[in-house]
Amino acid sequence: MASYFLIATFGYKPSNLHGIIEADETFIAEYFKGKRKICRPARKRGGGNIPQVPIIMVLDRAGNIVHKVI
């Protein structure tokens, strides 16, 4: 998993971060609220395997935050 994390972010270089930075990834559930067409069958009462969307968040010591969907 760590190699995927590094490869996916290789081409992404934020310009507003300086000095020491901290990076972490998080996963949130994919949702389709408000969309008229859904690319998967409907679930009842939240059951089933929910696809996760990976997001990288980077923070520097000055408080600048950059986030990107991987």
Q: Once rounded to an integer, what is the mean pLDDT over residues 22-37?
A: 82
User: Of 13, 15, 20, nearest to 63 (Cα)?
Assistant: 20
Residue of higher predicted confidence among 10 and 48: 48
Q: Is the predicted pLDDT of residue 19 greater than 80, yes or no?
A: yes
Q: What is the pLDDT of residue 66?
A: 85
Q: What is the pLDDT of residue 24?
A: 92
Lowest mean pLDDT among 12-16, 20-24, 48-52, 54-58: 12-16
Measure Cα distances from 58 to 6, 41, 45 in Å: 13, 35, 34
Q: Determine what percent of the chain is predicted with pLDDT higher than 90.
A: 6
pTM: 0.55
